[in-house]
Structure 1
Amino acid sequence: MSSQVIAPIPGIFYRRPAPDKAPFVEEGDAVEVGQTIGVIEIMKQFTEVRSESAGVLTSFSIEDNGMVGPGDVIATID
């Protein structure tokens, strides 16, 4: 059964903790409950985006550095 990771706030979604760092997680990686999969930045404040279910991250719906709104689907986990 699939679950979706939903954006809690508007802003810019980043898949990496910093431009020179590796992504938090890649498509096809196993994720645990509470694992950070990215961050959303708004006005220089960063909010971690965490998985609410365990499984395999099958796809990102938002590109790295992409704009998100509250309720937007960020990723799908199977």
Structure 2
Amino acid sequence: MKTEHERQEIINAINVLLHQAYDSTLDEIYALLEKIEDQEDEEDLKTVKEAREEIRLHGTFSWEKIKKEIAEERKQDVA
């Protein structure tokens, strides 16, 4: 995951290139970004469906159990 500063630098660099691009190139870029967004939405929906199916088959976990597992993972990461 990028820091906010890194993200801003990339956005600024992209903006410079976008302002120099031909209209047809802008149209292509826009279409690609929409396609990427649609794919991410599909992946998110798939993940939600899989999680719901997992819950249906195996039930849910208590918040206390989840916190315990997170704490154990942190201990392992430190070691």
Q: Normalized per residue, which structure has more strand?
A: 1
Indicate the TM-score class for this superposition, using the shorter chain for normalisation.
under 0.3
Give 1 or 2 for the bigger CA radius of gyration: 2
Higher helix proportion: 2
Report 1 or 2 for greater relative contact order, CA contacts < 8 Å, sequence distance ≥ 6.
Answer: 1
Question: How does the TM-score come out when normalised to structure 2?
Answer: 0.20
Give the alignment's TM-score, normalised by structure 1: 0.20
